[in-house]
Amino acid sequence: RPEFALGLITKERGLKELTTIGFDTEHIDVYLRSIE
């Protein structure tokens, strides 16, 4: 999705999106730390 590529989504939105596409919370946490 373009939003991810541009880094213009909030963490809350990102968490929701990632959960929706099947990421587990551990991987989501790693992902969010990697984009800070």
Per domain, the residue ranges of the chain are: 2-34
> pLDDT value at position 8?
58
1-36 pLDDT, tens digit per residue, is: 555 555 656 777 777 877 787 777 777 778 778 876
Distances (CA, A) of 1 to 4, 9, 18, 20: 6, 11, 11, 13
Backbone φ/ψ region at 7: left (φ over 0), alpha (ψ -120 to 50), beta: left
Chain position carrying tokens 């989504």: 9
What is the model's pLDDT at position 1? 54
pTM higher than 0.85? no
